[in-house]
Amino acid sequence: MIIQADDPIVEIHDLTVSYDKKPVLWGVDLTLPKGQLIGIIGPNGAGKSTLIKAIMGLIPNSSGYIKLFDDELSNVRDRISYVPQRETVDWDFPASVMDIVLMGRYGKLGIFKRPRKVDREVALDSLRKVDLEGYKDRQISQLSGGQQQRVFLARALAQQADLYFMDEPFAGVDAATEKTIIKLLREMTERGNTVVVVHHDLQSVTQYFDWVLMLNMRLVASGPTAETFNTEMLQETYGGKLTLLSEVGNLLKQGAFPSREKNEQVKS
């Protein structure tokens, strides 16, 4: 079930992406609306990260094309922010929290220029928004998983973009941090920004997202959560994992979403 957005901010046409000639995304065709909080869900290896990377031009398309703000990526880079999966970088790298957040300003600064005072102010402000102001001089190797994730988020905020792509911002984050982050993302969409988030936890989907995109190598569904997030689509996306599905089915029926308890992963 694929519902098109009117006045789309992201347009993907017949996108196929392959690694070593082996396609991992097939014929993805969709549009995403402006100003919404959008979730990408699907099982492990479904191609969620791949879709975002393809949009960001990090991997070449085998076929199809992508338009952002009705334009090519290279013309609108400074309006787009990308938050990679946390594990893709080495957190033992000799850098402070401030160093990382300032990276969010590099795109605006341009090549060879050093961060100015305004950039530091924007970075500091971004840290304040994720409650990490007091950590600006902390080494990134000393942060917990949740704090690392918030540093990445602060870097994205420092970009002052209009459209955000975040790969699993809730992975390895405790419940309190998850709440802080989702509140922040909400505020961003209320200001008219568009936030696209790869998400793992089916239980919170209806709570969090206005629009949902269900993926399993091909696009199963894309549309407003209320219309698309149903048992049939979940069945199609997750295939045979029935125990999980019936659980989710029950949840959907009851409309109840039990609170979860996750432990923050502190790096030893």
Partner 1 sequence: MAMVGDAISHAVLPGIVLAFLITGSRDSVTMLIGAGTIGVLTTFLIEFFHKKGKLQTDASIGVTFTWLFAIGVILISVFAGKVDLDQDCVLYGEIAYVPIDLWITKAGVVMGPRVLYIAGTVLLIILAFIFIGYKELFLTTFDPSFATAIGISTITWHYLLMGAVSITTVASFESVGAILVVAFLIAPPATAYLLTENLVKMMIISSILGILISISGYYLAAGTDGSIAGAMAAMSGVFFGLAFLFAPKEGYIFKILKKQSAPTRLE
Ligand X SMILES: Nc1ncnc2c1ncn2[C@@H]1O[C@H](COP(=O)(O)OP(=O)(O)O)[C@@H](O)[C@H]1O
Q: Which residues bind ligand X (CB under 6 A)?
A: 19, 24, 42, 44-50
- Rule CB under 8 A: say whether 256 interacts with partner 1: no
Q: For partner 1, which stretch binds (CB under 8 A), given 141-149, 200-208, 213-221, 241-249?
A: 141-149
Interface with partner 1 in residues 51-90 (CB under 8 A): 53, 56-58, 74, 77-78, 80, 82, 84, 88-90
- Rule CB under 8 A: say whether 109 interacts with partner 1: yes
- Rule CB under 8 A: say whether 139 interacts with partner 1: yes
Q: Could you tell me if 164 and 193 are in contact, meaning their C-beta atoms sit under 8 angstroms apart?
A: yes
Residue with smaller CB distance to ligand X, 55 or 101: 55
CB of 32 to Mg ion, least distance (A): 18
Residues forming the site for Mg ion (CB under 5 A): 49
CB of 227 to ligand X, least distance (A): 23
Residue with smaller CB distance to Mg ion, 49 or 147: 49
Angle between helices 145-158 and 175-190 (to 10 degrees): 10
Q: Could you tell me if 56 and 165 are in contact, meaning their C-beta atoms sit under 8 angstroms apart?
A: yes
Kindly state the helix (H) or strand (E) to which residue 60 belongs, with its residue range: none
Tokens read off for 183: 């509140």
- DSSP codes of every residue in 112-162: TPPP-HHHHHHHHHHHHHTT-GGGTTSBGGG--HHHHHHHHHHHHHHT--S
Phi and psi angles of residue 44, each rounded to the nearest 5 degrees, phi first: -60, 135
Residue with smaller CB distance to partner 1, 65 or 93: 93
